[in-house]
Amino acid sequence: MKNFPPVVKNLLIINCLVFVAQQILPASALHFPLQGWISLHYVGTPYFRLWQLFTYMFAHAGIDHLFFNMFALWMFGRILENVWGSKRFLFYYMVCGVGAGLTQELLQLAGVIPPVPVVGASGAVYGLLLAFGVMFPNMPLFIIPIPVPIKAKWMVIGYTVIELLEGIFSYGNVAHFAHLGGMVFGLMLILYWRRHNKDTNGWTYR
């Protein structure tokens, strides 16, 4: 079904299955460390493993965390996959997720943010948000609780500013800079594609 393309569908399923597994198999470094294995740990700790740069984006900290990420994946991802094709969409999604993880690790190494484990698809999802704003800048979107539609480009700019300010002034338990990292890696990849594909609009999606 074109409105529910295969990569988005499978990503939704995988994320939900991993979340169920997280609830069934408790996170404990002394027993069965499922979340300990798949969370992204600081590279300076003995718990870090290279595969965590991939696996962390399929784990979530709670049902609300999972719901909002999967809703955004469905909302923006199905449109982008239908435009780009499944292979390019999946590559973009993974680059944004890994890029977000690398951003988190680098800023932890630099001492900008505290070294804490990270989970969630948010970095990859913010990359999708960035791509949607670049691809469809003038598409009107309704954002709760704002009562009027907002163009996609202004939504992207707004979320970017919010994440930057939150990251600087109130880091809390949210990886704001990882979100921004997903957007930056996504933008770099889109600009690379735009530069190296020669159709009339500067884009080739398939």
User: Is the CB of residue 38 less than 8 Å from the CB of residue 55?
Assistant: yes
| 181 in any annotated domain | yes
| 205 in any annotated domain | no
Q: What is the spatial distance between Cα 195 and Cα 105, in angstroms, rounded to a whole number?
A: 29
Chain-centroid distance of CA 68 in Å reads: 11
Burial of 193 per CB tally in 10 Å (0-12, 13-18, 19+): middle
Q: What is the pLDDT of residue 149?
A: 84
| 47 in any annotated domain | yes
CATH of the domain at 50: 1.20.1540.10
Catalytically active residues are: 122, 179
Q: What is the pLDDT of residues 57-93, one digit of tens each?
A: 999 989 999 999 999 999 999 999 999 999 999 999 9
Terminus-to-terminus CA distance in the chain, angstroms? 18
Q: What is the spatial distance between Cα 21 and Cα 30, in angstroms, rounded to a whole number?
A: 17
- Label residue 202 by pLDDT band (50, 70, 90): very low
| 74 in any annotated domain | yes
Residue 28 has pLDDT above 60, yes or no: no
* Type and span of the H or E element at 193: helix 176-196
Residue 201 has pLDDT above 70, yes or no: no
Phi, psi of 102 (to 5 degrees): -65, -40
For the chain, what is the domain count? 1
| 61 in any annotated domain | yes
| 204 in any annotated domain | no
Q: What is the pLDDT of residue 171?
A: 62
Q: What is the pLDDT of residues 171-182, one digit of tens each?
A: 667 888 999 999
Q: Domain residues for 14? A: 6-196
